Structure 1
């Protein structure tokens, strides 16, 4: 989700911008040419998923798809998400320059965690693949909502006051999104494993069985 321009106070803008620049630099370090098509594809996925959004005060609700992006890209996730956010900012005025750092952090960090925490759990069982997808999709949304909430409250405590405050409305509005993204990501993970299992470090054996591989977290 996007935090709008002019919402965050100066200290929050400075801290999140510096942190985001550092995260993007870490993400871009050592990128190989063969990784670029995958990064570009995931950039398109995030860009498209975020086009339909519902404004809620200083932020908005829309599809993230960050769970599957994080599981596929790992440490390269911030590159993809930052590029998509830049395109959305200049083409559609989603988000803002001062909130760019916060938007990158709030979306990228939960997605990256799915690569290290959930992706290694994928096994040859269809149920395992679906459950891992559900966890990645839903937890990534929860992580982003928490990040946005912290960013807003740090800038203005008024965003968190009252039953119908901005923070509470964001939480209420993202409960169905968490469920939808979880189920959708579950089916996507199953589809990827059945069609191109190597994308998630799962390969077909000679007997047609799927076998999970040790995941290289540096990729």
Structure 2
């Protein structure tokens, strides 16, 4: 998953204000949707489990290029939905920043990146399932695409903002960030495959958790009519 592992003061003030406002705006929209639409009981349980699992695996750091993590953001989005997925991204980033994984001032930017991963993964998954994809390729592809979108957004945020104290010209910074994005894209594939196995297992024991309960019921009714 993508995450901006820079310390306090790395971004210029205007960039901190910009990404914080965008992040607050996103969370505001998400909170409004949750309050308006309500939350089902099983979604609350999934949100809690998803946040705990995401935060736990996020602490496993590969010391490559500032740190590479997995955090199951795509899985969280697929299971909890886009709104709760974005809120989970905020919670995980708050706790992570408290432990020194990225500056507190970058909460807005990092929440925006990780919420994008969850939202994109959810809608891609739903689209592929409507196209009658099997559960494993649909979930693995959705998570990979969502995480890739987050990686690209992370790179764009860094390049647009610039890094205080960096002697690299903007063109060289872009090249360096492109390498970081590429590394994250590779991790996205691995995490996407892992997500596919998890969702496939859940679908076999609790299809309702991945939104397949109604679909299977419809298939059973159709088979009964045919018979």
Taking the aligned partners of 1:164 and 1:23, their CA distance within structure 2 comes to 26
- Larger helix share, 1 or 2: 2
Could you state the TM-score of these two structures normalised by the residue count of structure 1?
0.82
**4+ long deviations beyond 6 Å:** 206-209
1:60 aligns with 2:72: no
1:205 aligns with 2:208: no
Kept in 2, the 8 Å contact 1:133–1:188? The answer is no
Instruction: Show the 5 A alignment for 1:1-219.
Output: 1-3=2-4, 4-5=6-7, 6-29=9-32, 30=35, 31-32=38-39, 34=41, 35-55=43-63, 60-74=67-81, 75-90=83-98, 92-122=99-129, 128-156=134-162, 158=168, 161-162=171-172, 165-203=175-213, 204-205=216-217
Q: How far 1:149 sits from its partner (Å)? A: 0.5
* Alignment RMSD: 2.8
Provide the aligned length of Structure 1 versus Structure 2.
Answer: 207
Taking the aligned partners of 1:165 and 1:124, their CA distance within structure 2 comes to 37
Q: How far 1:79 sits from its partner (Å)? A: 1.0
Unmatched runs of 5 consecutive residues or more in structure 2: none
Taking the aligned partners of 1:64 and 1:160, their CA distance within structure 2 comes to 30
Q: How far 1:179 sits from its partner (Å)? A: 2.0
Unmatched runs of 5 consecutive residues or more in structure 1: 212-219
- Larger strand share, 1 or 2: 1
The C-alpha deviation readout for 1:89-142, integer Å capped at 9, x for no partner, is 21x2111111110000011113202222322422797x6111111212211221
